[in-house]
């Protein structure tokens, strides 16, 4: 069975990566797909996010990377995924995730949403927390893959005004 793991991944965190690694052991293939969302202004371009995911998952031979816009269920069909994979960190994720899962089920009854619980050590991690900590000069190397930590320092250095 193939699983689609959709998200913003702005940027990829070790929480996302842990989910991808565990899912790659459970499913024949995992398609990690970055949502192109015109209503959000991301910190990282689509290309940067794809590169971050590709380099962090390169050793996992059954992980594919893609981009999509529009309905997740439509993209799931087009890439042959029978499962949409999402992560749960806390009760606060639950309400939103359950609503999306029901919506997707109503649109595509043949596609199942599967939730994986976060790893305990990553339960506090989100892309926004990572960006917030990095913006204020905090060390994020225990939160993101090395490539992402480098991208974050480049991003923040660039946006620092010239003296």
Enzyme catalytic residues: 16, 40, 89, 127
Question: If binding is defined by CB under 6 A, does position 87 make contact with ligand ADP?
Answer: yes
CA distances from 72 to 18, 42, 134 (A): 22, 19, 30
Nearer to ligand ADP, 15 or 145 (CB): 15
Q: Restricting to residues 25-84, which ones interact with ligand ADP according to CB under 6 A? A: none
Kindly give, in sequence order, each residue whose CB lies less than 8 Å from that of residue 82, ignoring residues fewer than 6 positions away. 1, 2, 3, 76, 110, 111, 112
Q: Is 8 a binder of ligand ADP (CB under 6 A)? A: yes
Q: Which of 29, 33, 84, 125 binds ligand ADP (CB under 6 A)?
A: 125
9 binds ligand ADP (CB under 6 A): yes
Among 44, 57, 84, 86, indicate the residue that binds ligand ADP (CB under 6 A). 86
CA distance 48 to 76: 23
Q: How far apart are CA 92 and CA 136, in angstroms?
A: 25
- Residues facing residue 145 across a β-bridge: none
Residues at the interface with ligand ADP (CB under 6 A):
7-9, 13, 15-16, 19, 86-87, 89, 93, 118, 122, 125-127
């Amino acid at each position: 069975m193939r699983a689609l793991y959709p998200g913003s991944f702005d940027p990829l965190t070790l929480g996302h990566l842990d989910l991808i690694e565990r899912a790659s052991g459970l499913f024949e293939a995992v398609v990690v797909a970055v949502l192109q969302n015109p209503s959000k202004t991301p910190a990282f371009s689509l290309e940067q996010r794809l590169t971050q995911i590709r380099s962090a998952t390169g050793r996992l031979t059954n992980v594919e990377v893609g981009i999509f816009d529009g309905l997740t269920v439509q993209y799931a069909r087009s890439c042959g995924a029978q499962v949409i994979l999402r992560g749960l960190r806390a009760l606060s994720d639950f309400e939103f995730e359950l609503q999306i899962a029901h919506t997707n089920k109503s649109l595509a009854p043949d596609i199942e949403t599967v939730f994986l619980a976060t790893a305990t050590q990553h339960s506090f991690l989100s892309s926004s927390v990572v960006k917030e900590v990095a913006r204020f000069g905090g060390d994020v190397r225990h939160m993101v893959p090395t490539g992402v930590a480098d991208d974050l320092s480049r991003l923040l250095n660039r946006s620092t005004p010239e003296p």
